[in-house]
Structure 1
Amino acid sequence: MCAVYTKCFDYGRKETEYLIQADPILGETMKRLGRVERVIIPDLFSALVHAIIGQLISIKAVKTIWSRMQDKYGEITPARLAAGTADDIQSCGMTMKKAVCIHNIARQIAAGEFKLDGIAELPDDEVIAKLTGLAGVGRWTAEMMLMNCLERPDVVSWGDIAIRRGMMKLYGLPALTKREFDQYRLKYSPYGSVASIYLWEISFA
């Protein structure tokens, strides 16, 4: 069986130096932590399945289910997942609701009813609009696709609990409003994705 191909999110001095200047508090933490890697999945369908699995469960649970998926299917393709049943997918350890969602999306793509081709060329808001047209795919899942598959440079997701928790820890906030979140997000722009990588690290530290 072949494992799904992964790589690390591509960023360098340009992004880190910008963020250090734009936000000294974040910058000090970035210097202390050093380079933080974020593994991504360049294949659109595999990344979408991974993002759906990751909805509202722990990182440890995601890793376990994803490992079982790869053991069972090898290459994660629409044809392979569509050829079986939702029960087959659910047996990897996820909820039946997610399994049905993944199976239905695999069937739609395998049948040519939904095309992933061309998504990589769309601007962020159009990617979100297209992906959220699929049942079971919300804004958070689409935003994770932007960052963890397409390597878009400026993604900071309000819907991601860990990113919000990372912000609260970084700035010593007992709570975080959407307005405060957006102020920080704008400060990080246009390299919000690198800020998100560090906020995740801070959140789980």
Structure 2
Amino acid sequence: MQTVITKNFDYGEKEINYLKNVDTVLGTAMTQMGKVERVIIPDLFAALVHAIVGQLISAKAVQTIWARMQEKLGAMNSENIATQSVEAIQSCGITMKKAACILNIAQTIEQGLLDLQELYELSDTQVIQKLSSLHGIGPWTAEMMLINSMERPDVVSWGDIAIRRGMMKLYNLDSLTRKQFEEYRRVYSPYGSVASIYLWSISFR
């Protein structure tokens, strides 16, 4: 079994100190929690498959399915996945819709119609637009790619329920409007991704 290579999201004192200075409530939580590590997948294709698997299911379920996929299907690259049947992908525990989406993207890459490496040349907004044009991928999946693979520094996803829940817990809110969310997001900028890493942790505590 070829295991997908992972690493921790790269950040340090500069980002931590900035966020502590601009938001004392978040800063207090960060001090209590210490450095929170976020495991990411540098390989764009593997990360995209992982993000698709993760749509609308729990983090624990993703772990189980992801391990099963690597065991049953082998290498998580477009060359290998493009040769699988949609049934084989689906049998790892995902919906037929997700399986078809994964197979379609792998085949599109192998046909030379999509080059994920080009994403590195695009802005965050352009990456979201480009990935959202693929069938079965929306803004949330694209934003997860920006953080969990490309290590873009300033991503806070409104579409991520856990991030919204983390904000509500952190600031003792009963509800969260899009306007409030945007205000917090602006405060965190340009290190929104590090704020997201802490908000995820807060939401699961």
Shorter-chain TM-score category?
A: over 0.9
Contact 1:4 1:74 in 2 (8 A): no
1:38 maps onto 2:56 in alignment? no
- Structure 1 unaligned segments of length 5 or more: list them: none
Partner of 1:20: 20
Q: TM-score, normalised by structure 2?
A: 0.99
Letter in 2 for 1:112: G
Q: Deviations over 1:39-93 (max 9, x none)?
A: 0000000000000000000011100000011112332011111101110100100
SS of equivalent residue, structure 2 residue 194? helix
Q: Deviations over 1:115-163 (max 9, x none)?
A: 2122112111111111111000100000000000000000000000000
Residues of 2 paired with 1:73 and 1:41: CA distance? 18
Aligned pairs (5 A) from 1:80-119: 80-119=80-119
Residues of 2 paired with 1:126 and 1:177: CA distance? 25
Partner of 1:58: 58
Partner of 2:176: 176
Letter in 2 for 1:59: A
Residues of 2 paired with 1:25 and 1:116: CA distance? 38
Partner of 1:204: 204
> How many pairs does the alignment contain?
205
Residues of 1 paired with 2:90 and 2:74: CA distance? 16
- Structure 2 unaligned segments of length 5 or more: list them: none
Over aligned residue pairs, what C-alpha RMSD do you find? Answer: 0.7
Residues of 2 paired with 1:71 and 1:120: CA distance? 29
Instruction: Provide the identity percentage.
Output: 63
